[in-house]
């Protein structure tokens, strides 16, 4: 039998199974209730759309409700959620723009003749226009994809009337009632503002920066999580003065040694840091600039300075307030998030939640997408596979990028004890840094492993160029039970930075210098 015949046979069987599943559900539903939809998804972001499309692929009738409230300065966007519109995609494009700016100056050291390179600068208007044109093209493709896949898209703000009824508030304020056997909440979150006079009136967030009409100029970024560091990083790379205000620690939730190295590398790039401080007021001056006042959280000493822009990146709030969850009997709510079990169920069995709205899970687009798909398969194709939220790889797109997968050094020691954890580490010298004579002092990586046996790898951490590309494959390796024995018997690809993981020979316990003599040592 040919491969094509086998494929056709398998495809036919799959369609038959999906039809049977749908028929069984329809018959079951008809015996008790008559609903308009098998599934309603509230929220048109990555997780919600993935869940909706997968459900339709398995024979369900699905509607998606999606509505974006404008930011305080009026920014709004189309379908696709945070990632597409004001998150991962425009952030990566801005990051790439800043890297290209640095590369232009480096090119001369490789022999490229670039006239008047000292006058090379970014055009903010052209950059934001290019970014927004791409975002809008993705919005259009997303709508077409939903139409082609027979997902009904409703541009309305959803709230619960009862456990099986969702009301969509349309743009003209009219209301449309919809009923469904199952409902998935995938509304995500939006940035918080600090409780300081003038913060909301005069500040912006990551929801605004990628389409900001005027140049940001001298910018204070309040918050030192990954969003804050990424925004400060690309702003500095684009030629703007950038300062980061840190309330407590940098990159909370990440390995703290790596977090501090990232911060130090940003200081080397010329990014300023104000530590242990919170904003107390934002006052607009006659010339339109902003007087930002703050105080030290330890000493109560105060300070102030004039900036052109203040960008708040002080955390995100789950969008639960508009849902009227009490009407559906959903009570599993904590800290503006929804608490779910391992099946993504709320306390109401037919109401689920995926993505950034659920409490205690990684707030990452690929996590939401995968969880949404698996949920749809469990609901409509008889699957029993649940989402594994452990060992999810991620990257911080700081000027010198940081990627990791698995446990931090602190978490491993907390769980297993210092005597049972071995940390292999090393500095390294990227070949592409040599001719431009770029600093290599912060290019560093480490593997956190069990000390016994073949030394199962608990976490990998890397700071350096193209960190996300480096870490993706290692993410699969960690999932597959990677050990130090396997890692150190893997032949690296030379000359790359990823191969440095295969050459980790020095442990922290040994006290030896982890700095290599050459790129090949």
- What is the 3-state secondary structure of 195-250? CCCCHHHHCECHHHHCCCCCCCCCEEEECCCHHHHHHHHHHHHCCCCEEEEECCCC
Q: What are phi and psi of 174, to 5 degrees?
A: -70, 160
In angstroms, the CA 246 to CA 249 distance is: 6
Q: What is the pLDDT of residue 521?
A: 60
Cis check for the bond before 495: say yes or no (omega within 30 of 0).
yes
Cβ-Cβ contacts under 8 Å for 88 (sequence gap 6 or more):
82, 365
Report how far apart the first and last C-alpha atoms of the chain are (Å, whole number): 53
Q: What is the pLDDT of residue 518?
A: 67
Q: What is the pLDDT of residue 118?
A: 63
Element at 300 (helix H, strand E): none
How far are the Cα atoms of 25, 26, 27, 29, 167 from residue 32, in angstroms, in the given order?
A: 11, 10, 9, 6, 22
Cβ-Cβ contacts under 8 Å for 212 (sequence gap 6 or more):
124, 128, 204, 309
In angstroms, the CA 187 to CA 318 distance is: 8
| Residue spans of the chain under pLDDT 50 | 1-8, 11-16, 18-20, 22-32
Pick from 300, 226, 235: nearest CA to 259: 226
Please state whether 344 falls in left (phi above 0), alpha (psi between -120 and 50) or beta: left
- Return the sign of the alpha-carbon dihedral for residues 285, 287, 288, 293: negative
* 464 C-beta neighbours (distance < 10 Å), count: 24
Q: What is the pLDDT of residue 115?
A: 78
In angstroms, the CA 123 to CA 120 distance is: 10
Q: What is the pLDDT of residue 509?
A: 97
- Return the sign of the alpha-carbon dihedral for residues 482, 487, 493, 494: positive
Q: What are phi and psi of 346, to 5 degrees?
A: -85, -170
Range 346-350, long-range pairs (CB < 8 A, 24+ positions): 346/185, 348/163, 350/163, 350/164, 350/181, 350/182, 350/183
C-alpha torsion angle, residues 75, 78, 82, 83 (rounded to 10): -130
Tokens at residue 145, please? 């994809």
Q: What is the pLDDT of residue 61?
A: 98
Known catalytic residues? 494
Q: At what angle do helices 88-107 and 226-237 cross, to 10 degrees?
A: 40
């Amino acid at each position: 039998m040919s491969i094509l015949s086998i494929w056709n046979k398998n495809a036919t069987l799959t369609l038959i199974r999906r039809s049977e599943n749908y028929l069984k559900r329809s018959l079951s539903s008809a015996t008790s209730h008559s609903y308009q939809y098998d599934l309603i998804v509230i929220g048109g972001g990555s997780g919600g759309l993935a869940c909706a499309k997968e459900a339709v692929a398995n024979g369900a009738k699905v509607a998606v409700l999606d509505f974006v409230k404008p930011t305080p300065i009026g920014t709004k966007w189309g379908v696709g959620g945070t990632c597409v519109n004001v998150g991962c995609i425009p952030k990566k494009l801005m990051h790439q723009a800043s890297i290209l700016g640095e590369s232009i100056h480096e090119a001369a050291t490789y022999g490229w003749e670039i006239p008047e390179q000292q006058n090379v600068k970014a055009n903010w208007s052209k950059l934001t226009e290019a970014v927004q044109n791409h975002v809008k093209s993705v919005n259009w493709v997303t709508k077409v994809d939903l139409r082609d896949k027979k997902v009904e898209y409703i541009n309305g703000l959803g709230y619960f009337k009862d456990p099986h009824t969702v009301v969509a508030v349309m743009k003209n304020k009219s209301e449309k009632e919809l009923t469904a056997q199952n409902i998935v909440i995938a509304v995500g979150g939006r940035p918080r503002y600090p409780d300081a006079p003038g913060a909301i009136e005069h500040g912006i967030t990551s929801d605004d920066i990628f389409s900001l009409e005027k140049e940001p100029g001298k910018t204070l970024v309040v918050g030192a999580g990954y969003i804050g560091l990424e925004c400060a990083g690309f702003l500095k790379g684009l030629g703007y003065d950038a300062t980061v205000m840190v309330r407590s620690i940098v990159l909370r939730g990440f390995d703290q040694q790596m977090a501090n190295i990232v911060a130090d590398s940003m200081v080397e790039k010329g990014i300023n840091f104000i530590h242990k401080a919170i904003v107390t007021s934002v006052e607009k001056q006659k010339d339109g600039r902003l007087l930002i006042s703050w105080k030290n959280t330890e000493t109560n000493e105060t300070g102030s300075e004039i900036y052109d822009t203040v960008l708040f990146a002080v955390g995100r709030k789950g969008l639960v307030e508009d849902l009227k969850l009490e009407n559906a009997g959903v009570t599993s709510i904590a800290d503006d998030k929804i608490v779910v079990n391992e099946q993504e169920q709320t306390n109401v069995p037919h109401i689920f939640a995926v993505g950034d709205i659920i409490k205690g899970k990684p707030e990452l687009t690929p996590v939401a997408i995968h969880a949404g798909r698996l949920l749809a398969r469990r609901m409509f194709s008889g699957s029993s596979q649940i989402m594994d939220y452990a060992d999810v790889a991620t990257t911080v797109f700081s000027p010198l990028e940081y990627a990791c997968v698995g446990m931090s050094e602190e978490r491993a020691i907390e769980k297993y004890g210092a005597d049972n954890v071995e940390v292999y580490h090393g500095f390294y010298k990227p070949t592409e840094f040599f001719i431009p004579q770029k600093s290599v002092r912060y290019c560093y990586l480490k593997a956190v492993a069990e000390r016994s046996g073949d030394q199962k790898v608990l976490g990998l951490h890397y700071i350096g160029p193209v960190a996300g590309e480096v870490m993706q494959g290692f993410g699969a390796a960690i999932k597959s039970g990677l050990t130090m024995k396997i890692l150190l018997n893997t032949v690296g690809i030379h000359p790359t930075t990823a191969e440095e993981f295969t050459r980790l020979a020095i442990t922290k316990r040994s006290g030896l210098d982890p700095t290599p003599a050459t790129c090949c040592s």
